[in-house]
Amino acid sequence: MIKPHGSQTLTPLFVEDQLEREVLLEEAKSFPKLLLDSSSAANAVMLGAGYFTPLEGYMNRADALSVADTMMTSSGLFWPVPCLNRTDDISQIKETEKIALLDPNMPGNPVLAIQTVDSIEEISSEDLKQMTERTFGTLDESHPGVGTFLSAGRYIVSGPIRVLNYSYFEKDFPDTFRTAVQIREDISSRGWETVVAFQTRNPMHRAHEELCKMAKKAVNADGVLIHMLLGKLKKGDIPADVRDAAIRKMVELYFPANTVMITGYGFDMLYAGPREAVLHAIFRQNAGCTHLIVGRDHAGVGNYYGPFDAQEIFKTLPQGALEIEIFNADHTAYSRKLNKVVMMRDVPDHTSEDFVMLSGTKVREMLAAGEPLPEEFARPEVAKILMDYYMSEA
């Protein structure tokens, strides 16, 4: 199986032994407390689950600036996005060795992890501007990821952590949330060697379905990992439970048995375009996948990135930075001429009128009005799940 990123083995930071977890939770009662923001909590979940292998915890200022500028930590580890614990309130955690990190997304704010504090550093407005612009490619606060990043705390709390639970993800998505460790184990038990991953924060329509099938065939994969983001999204995105139900129905009816793993991971969407695409590749390499589909406007939002910037960035990475391979995909759509879904680059004789294409706005309007989507665009069983959701929200 493909090696994890930067390591011979996965380095999940979750405390597996139940007795040890209970001891640590008891100890944490006497530690100073820090209520995390959602982004820092998501980083903890990803560190615990092994997706952030080989990181040992939250970065310090020097590493964060280095990663933002060069996609390398100070020690030379390739990494595309700062992994931070930021806060505005350090009054309870100054001059202390260990702190209990509280979960902002669970009732009662239980302890999510224990952190050994290496340093607490204030970041200047210039530091923040530099990190933001290099990571997101813009300082526009209308960008949802930029807005979140700029509004986080001005202090960086760095140091290794030990993770004690997976927040709300295990409880809310028991059939879908999986750690990188669990996915590797599942891939191994299936005897799969070549696995192509598909990242999604949206429901999957006909074009996405066929893209997975095209990629699987092209790389001669044993199976497909459909890996959906289960964390926080921008306003207007479809909730994870609805996406989960729609994707499961699509796979049940339209994929051969035992060719797809439906899983999810506990991270908040950054909408960081090219940089986040590289982070997505690391997640999937750590989960044991050999290929990642990177399509048009991967991890993008609005018009902040070019349609294929997320593919182009992989051409600029240092030699050997990643072992996972990228399957570059063009925009896919149903061809009226050929009566099937195609990649647009493969049909240069087509005009826009030859494709069945709907904007996201048009899709939402039709679903909210109870209008059926064209079968060339969406499987009817999938469209019904989405329509039921939109009509319930109207």
Is residue 11 one of the residues assigned to a domain?
Answer: no
Query: Do residues 233 and 201 make contact, with C-beta atoms less than 8 angstroms apart?
Result: yes
Taking only the tens place, the pLDDT of each residue in 20-70 is 999 999 999 999 999 999 999 999 999 999 999 999 999 999 999 999 999
Q: For residue 155, give every residue at least 6 positions away whose Cβ sits within 8 Å of its Cβ, in sequence order, or none.
A: 86, 87, 88, 90, 120, 121, 122, 123
Q: Does residue 40 fall inside a structural domain?
A: yes
> Is the pLDDT assigned to residue 236 strictly greater than 80?
no
* Domain assignment present for 351: yes
Count of domains forming the chain: 2
Q: Which residues sit opposite 161 in a β-bridge?
A: 115
237 and 140 in a single domain? The answer is no
| Cα 1 to Cα 184: distance, rounded to the nearest angstrom | 9
In tens, the pLDDT along 75-118 reads 999 999 999 999 999 999 998 999 999 999 999 999 999 999 99
- H or E element in which residue 19 lies: helix 18-28
Asked whether the predicted pLDDT for residue 321 surpasses 90, the reply is yes
Q: Within a domain: residue 12?
A: no
* 149 plus 290 within the same structural domain: no
What percent of the chain is predicted at pLDDT more than 70? 100
Mean pLDDT taken over the chain: 95
Q: Are residues 190 and 163 in the same domain?
A: no
Instruction: Kindly state whether residues 380 and 306 are assigned to the same domain.
Output: yes
Tell me the average pLDDT across 269-294.
97
Considering the domain architecture, whether residues 147 and 250 belong to the same structural domain is answered as no
On the 0-12 / 13-18 / 19+ scale of CB atoms within 10 A, 216 is buried
Same domain, 132 and 245: no
Catalytic residue among 109, 134, 190, 202: 202
Question: 10 lies in a domain?
Answer: no
147 and 182 fall within a common domain: no
Would you state the pLDDT for residue 394?
65
How much is the pTM?
Answer: 0.95
158 and 180 together in one domain: no
**Catalytic-role residue among 201, 243, 284, 379:** 201
Separation CA 97–CA 88 (nearest Å): 19
- pLDDT for 12 equals 98
What Cα–Cα distance (Å) separates residue 254 from each residue in 65, 191, 209, 212?
46, 22, 8, 12
pLDDT classification of 173: cutoffs 50, 70, 90: very high
Indicate the residue among 115, 145, 167 that finishes a domain: 167
pLDDT of residue 41: 98
Cβ neighbour number for residue 345 with a 10 Å cutoff? 11
Spatial distance between the Cα atoms of 99 and 33, rounded to a whole number of angstroms: 6
- 336 as an active site residue: the answer is no
205 Cβ neighbours under 8 A, 6+ residues apart: 377, 378, 379, 382
pLDDT digits (tens, 9 = 90+) for 158-171: 999 999 999 999 99
Asked whether residue 214 is assigned to any structural domain, the reply reads: yes
Task: Place 390 in a pLDDT band, splitting at 50, 70 and 90.
Answer: confident
CA 81 to CA 55: how far, in whole Å?
12
Among candidates 308, 313, 281, which has minimal Cα distance to 296? 308
CA distance between the termini of the chain: 47
What pLDDT is stored for residue 92 in this prediction? Answer: 93
Distance CA 276, CA 271 (A): 7
pLDDT confidence of residue 363: 84
217 and 363 fall within a common domain: yes
Among 181, 148, 183, 176, smallest CA distance to 40 is for 148
pLDDT tens profile 199-217: 998 889 999 999 999 999 9
Residues 201 and 152 in one domain: no
Q: What is the pLDDT of residue 210?
A: 94
Rounded Cα distance, 329 and 343, in Å: 7
124-147 residue pLDDT tens: 999 999 999 999 999 999 999 999
359-365, long-range: CB < 8 A, 24+ apart: 364/390
CA distance 164 to 36: 14
In the structure encoding, which two tokens stand for residue 188, read together?
């191994």
End residue of a domain, out of 136, 151, 167: 167
3-state secondary structure of 28: helix
Residue 227 backbone phi and psi in degrees, to 5: -125, 100
Which residue, 116, 137, 167, sits at the end of a domain?
Answer: 167
Residue 238 has pLDDT above 80, yes or no: yes
- Tell me, yes or no, if 201 is annotated catalytic: yes
- 147/207 same-domain check: no
Report if residue 7 sits inside a domain: no
The domain that holds 331 is classified in CATH as: 3.40.50.620
CATH number at residue 123: 3.10.400.10
Q: Is residue 71 predicted with pLDDT exceeding 90?
A: yes
Residue 206 lies in a domain: yes
Please enumerate in sequence order all residues whose Cβ is within 8 A of that of 23, keeping only pairs 6 or more positions apart, or say none. none
Domain range enclosing 251 = 174-265+273-393
Q: Are 93 and 237 found together in one domain?
A: no
